[in-house]
């Protein structure tokens, strides 16, 4: 990699300082780099370095520091970290909630007390914003961490084979580096609240006990109880969240796909009037999900329940029909659900299937099946409503990228939704939330919503900065918000959109809007790839390669590059194309190109929202 690119021209340095840094930094050894990273992190956190003439510390006890690191994809880990910090401050700790994306792992050596809350994404990957932190933590260049006290809370989903893998990796690595575990790691499923509550209580109690013993007094620190209480009261409360959604009205619902399309894409507009909800481009909207009433009916028929029987879900007693329709996950199966059902029924065939969760037969059975399949394939001689509902997981909200700017559309939230429908095991099936939006939520209907923040997928603070947006299919949603926002504020930065779908005539989402933005200059360039309109399939990564020289020039000029959409194939193909472009048009080796792209990520100029 060319050393002149280490500190970009957009960095807040004088030109002579930038040239000096670009000459100095490449000469550092890994150990020297780690020391400087730790020094800077300590300086930012308010630590004082040794210096001539430094006075001895006073005898006044200090507030005990506590770092709560989080790695998040959907915002759950961040929310829990912030909540933990508030609790810790009220207990007297000098607590800070910190995104892994903003923290250098070598600085952990100067951390006394550490709590980690991290989610596992997909099949065992770290969250997008925590990739760099994870890689450095696992590297051989990490310093020893003796003296660091820690505990880990992992968030995951038992529907995935690598359940809570990243939390387990963090826990094992911190121990291997010499840190002391104060309380055992917990692995939380999608219904994480109770699991988290127990962990947080145990961890804070243990940290408080150790701090009290170290201070030799009955308090953790010198933080005044009354002051801590007042501070907590002045922090802004979240009016609407996953536990308390706002009831929004569907004010518009339009099909974005023509009758000749193989896709079914919807544009939805929801009213947020009266909520005072705020969001930024790049955020998501959480929607309260509801199950298909027909699937509920068939489950009741199979079990012989009327639906009026009462059952308790999360300490709330309600009719079984309501529980199956709006509170419990019935459209998918996980090993714990099958295990609970096997325990309730005593079915030996199910017990054999569960003997080893890595068993290929179990993985194959779980694929594409739901609760009705389980009930029909392994009928129970006797099953109570409580046993059925007790075996099922809570129904989770679904997140969708916001496709609107709040400045351009006050009191509204727009969504771009691809409806999921498929056939499996002899039955037609569909996505829980997308089919509800498509088939049952008419204009004027209401749905519970809340904003899910995504601070790792935001527009540059400087509106003059150029941006490159890659969003095939419904992945274009946040970029509609980006362009609306920049048009509203009169941003002068150039913008370039790569969009792809199957057919130009049937699937060109928001075509007229993009053409209007091109006319006004809010959108500088638009390149499209319609994969089925010619014999050879063409995708967005092919268009990127065709325009690679210009794309690389934009990056050299400080452009931010965004990717949104399918993680399994599209995002990987785009990443590969990006490295090829950098190598080819930047005259670099493959290794140098990979390092260049990695640095783009570290500088938060290569941002992805993939799923």
State percent of the chain over pLDDT 90: 78
Helix (H, G, I), strand (E, B) or coil at 286: strand
Domain identity same for 308 and 372: yes
Task: Tell me the backbone φ, ψ of residue 34, rounded to 5 degrees.
Answer: -60, -40
Domain identity same for 282 and 318: no
pLDDT, tens digit, for every residue of 343-375? 999 999 898 888 865 578 888 999 999 999 999
Helix (H, G, I), strand (E, B) or coil at 451: strand
As a whole number of angstroms, the distance between CA 402 and CA 248 comes to: 14
Strands (E), 256-303: 265-271, 284-287
Domain identity same for 203 and 331: no
State percent of the chain over pLDDT 70: 86
As a whole number of angstroms, the distance between CA 432 and CA 438 comes to: 10
Q: Write down the pLDDT at residue 15.
A: 66
Question: Does the structure show a pLDDT above 50 at 252?
Answer: yes
Domain identity same for 272 and 412: yes
Query: Which residues are CB-contacts of 377 (< 8 A; sequence separation ≥ 6)?
Result: none
Domain identity same for 601 and 563: yes
Query: What residues form DSSP beta bridges with 399?
Result: 286
Domain identity same for 417 and 446: yes
Domain identity same for 69 and 200: yes
Domain membership of residue 500 (yes or no) is: yes
Helix (H, G, I), strand (E, B) or coil at 601: helix
User: Do residues 295 and 330 lie in contact, with contact meaning Cβ atoms separated by under 8 Å?
Assistant: yes
Domain identity same for 206 and 311: no
Q: What pTM does this model have?
A: 0.84
CATH number at residue 268: 2.40.30.10
Domain identity same for 271 and 361: no
Q: Distance between the two ends of the chain, CA-based, in angstroms?
A: 31
Which two three-digit tokens encode residue 568?
A: 């399994």
Q: Which of 451, 483, 448, 443 is nearest to 467 (CA)?
A: 483
Domain membership of residue 50 (yes or no) is: no
Domain boundary (234, 261, 276) is at 234
Domain span holding position 407: 246-289+397-452
Cα 105 to the center of its chain, rounded Å = 20
Q: Which of 91, 294, 129 is nearest to 211 (CA)?
A: 91
Domain membership of residue 141 (yes or no) is: yes
Which two three-digit tokens encode residue 588?
A: 């670099």
Pairing of strands 310-313, 180-181: unpaired
Q: Write down the pLDDT at residue 55.
A: 42
CATH number at residue 315: 1.20.990.10
CATH number at residue 492: 3.40.50.80
Domain identity same for 367 and 413: no
Strands (E), 200-353: 246-255, 265-271, 284-287, 310-313, 316-319
Query: What residues form DSSP beta bridges with 606?
Result: 561
Domain membership of residue 240 (yes or no) is: no
Domain identity same for 229 and 81: yes
| Count of residues making up the chain | 611
Cα 277 to the center of its chain, rounded Å = 20
Taking each helix axis from N to C end, the angle separating 572-585 and 590-602, rounded to the nearest 10 degrees, works out to 120
pLDDT, tens digit, for every residue of 519-536? 999 999 999 999 999 999
Domain membership of residue 55 (yes or no) is: no
As a whole number of angstroms, the distance between CA 293 and CA 282 comes to: 33
Domain identity same for 299 and 281: no
Query: What residues form DSSP beta bridges with 249?
Result: 271, 446
Domain boundary (365, 391, 417) is at 391
pLDDT, tens digit, for every residue of 205-239? 999 998 888 765 444 443 333 333 333 333 434 47
| Helices and strands counted in the chain (H then E) | 22, 21
Domain membership of residue 184 (yes or no) is: yes
Domain membership of residue 239 (yes or no) is: no
As a whole number of angstroms, the distance between CA 540 and CA 526 comes to: 11
* Rounded mean pLDDT, 482-504: 98
* Rounded mean pLDDT, 339-345: 94
As a whole number of angstroms, the distance between CA 591 and CA 609 comes to: 25
Domain membership of residue 49 (yes or no) is: no
CATH number at residue 113: 3.40.50.360
Question: Does the structure show a pLDDT above 50 at 1?
Answer: no
Q: Write down the pLDDT at residue 236.
A: 38
Report DSSP state, residue 534: S
pLDDT, tens digit, for every residue of 23-82? 677 666 555 555 565 555 444 444 433 444 444 444 445 679 999 999 998 889 999 999
Domain boundary (391, 414, 444) is at 391
Which two three-digit tokens encode residue 138?
A: 């696992």
Query: Which residues are CB-contacts of 533 (< 8 A; sequence separation ≥ 6)?
Result: 503, 504
Number of compact structural domains in the chain? 5
């Amino acid at each position: 990699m060319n050393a002149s690119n280490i500190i970009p021209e957009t960095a807040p340095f004088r030109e002579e300082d930038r040239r000096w840094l670009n000459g100095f930094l490449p000469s550092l050894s890994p150990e020297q780099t780690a020391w400087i990273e730790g020094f800077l992190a300590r300086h930012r956190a308010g630590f004082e370095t040794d210096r001539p003439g430094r006075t001895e510390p006073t005898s006044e006890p200090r507030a005990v520091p506590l770092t709560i690191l989080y790695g998040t994809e959907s915002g759950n880990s961040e929310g829990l970290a912030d909540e933990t910090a508030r609790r810790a401050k009220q207990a007297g700790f000098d607590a800070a909630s910190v995104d892994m994306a903003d923290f250098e792992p070598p600085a952990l050596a100067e951390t006394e007390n550490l709590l980690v809350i991290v989610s596992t994404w997909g099949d065992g990957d770290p969250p997008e914003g925590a990739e760099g932190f994870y890689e450095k933590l696992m590297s051989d260049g990490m310093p020893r961490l003796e003296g660091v006290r820690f505990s880990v809370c992992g968030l995951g989903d038992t529907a995935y084979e690598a359940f809570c893998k990243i939390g387990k990796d963090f826990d094992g690595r911190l121990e291997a580096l010499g840190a002391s575990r104060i309380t055992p790691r917990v692995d939380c499923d999608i219904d994480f609240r109770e699991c988290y509550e127990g962990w947080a209580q145990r961890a804070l109690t243990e940290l408080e006990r150790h701090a009290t013993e170290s201070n030799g007094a009955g308090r953790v620190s010198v933080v005044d109880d009354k002051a801590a209480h007042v501070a907590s009261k002045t922090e802004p409360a979240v009016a609407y969240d996953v536990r308390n959604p706002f009831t929004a009205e569907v004010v518009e619902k339009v099909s974005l796909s023509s009758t000749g399309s193989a896709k079914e894409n919807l544009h939805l507009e929801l009213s947020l009037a009266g909520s005072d909800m705020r969001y930024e481009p790049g955020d998501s909207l959480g929607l309260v999900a509801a199950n298909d009433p027909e699937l509920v009916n068939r489950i009741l028929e199979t079990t012989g329940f009327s639906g009026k029987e009462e059952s308790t879900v999360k300490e709330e007693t309600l009719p079984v029909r309501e529980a199956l329709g709006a509170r419990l996950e019935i459209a998918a199966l996980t090993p714990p659900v099958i295990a609970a059902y096997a325990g309730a029924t005593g079915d030996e065939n199910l017990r054999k299937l569960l003997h080893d969760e890595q068993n290929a037969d179990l993985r194959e059975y779980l694929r594409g099946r739901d609760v009705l399949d389980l009930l029909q394939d392994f009928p129970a001689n006797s099953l109570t409503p409580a046993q059925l509902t007790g075996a099922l997981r809570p129904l989770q909200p679904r997140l969708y990228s916001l496709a609107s700017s709040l400045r351009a559309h006050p009191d509204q939230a727009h969504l771009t939704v691809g409806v999921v429908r498929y056939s499996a095991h002899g039955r037609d099936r569909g996505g829980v939330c997308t089919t509800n939006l498509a088939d049952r939520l008419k204009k004027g209907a209401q749905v519970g919503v809340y904003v899910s923040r995504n601070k790792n997928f935001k527009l540059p603070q400087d509106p003059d900065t150029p941006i490159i947006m890659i969003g095939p299919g419904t992945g274009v949603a946040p970029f509609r918000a980006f362009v609306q926002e920049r048009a509203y504020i009169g941003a002068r930065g150039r913008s370039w959109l790569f969009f792809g779908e199957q057919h130009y005539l049937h699937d060109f989402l928001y075509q007229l809007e993009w053409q209007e933005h091109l006319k006004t200059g809010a959108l500088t360039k638009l390149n499209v790839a319609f994969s089925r309109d010619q014999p050879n399939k063409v995708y967005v990564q092919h268009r990127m390669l065709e325009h690679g020289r210009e794309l690389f020039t934009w990056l050299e000029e400080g452009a931010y590059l965004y990717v949104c959409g399918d993680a399994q194939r599209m995002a990987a193909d785009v990443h590969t194309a990006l490295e090829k472009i950098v190598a080819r048009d930047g005259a670099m080796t493959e290794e140098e190109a990979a390092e260049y792209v990695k640095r783009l990520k570290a500088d938060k100029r290569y941002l992805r929202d993939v799923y």
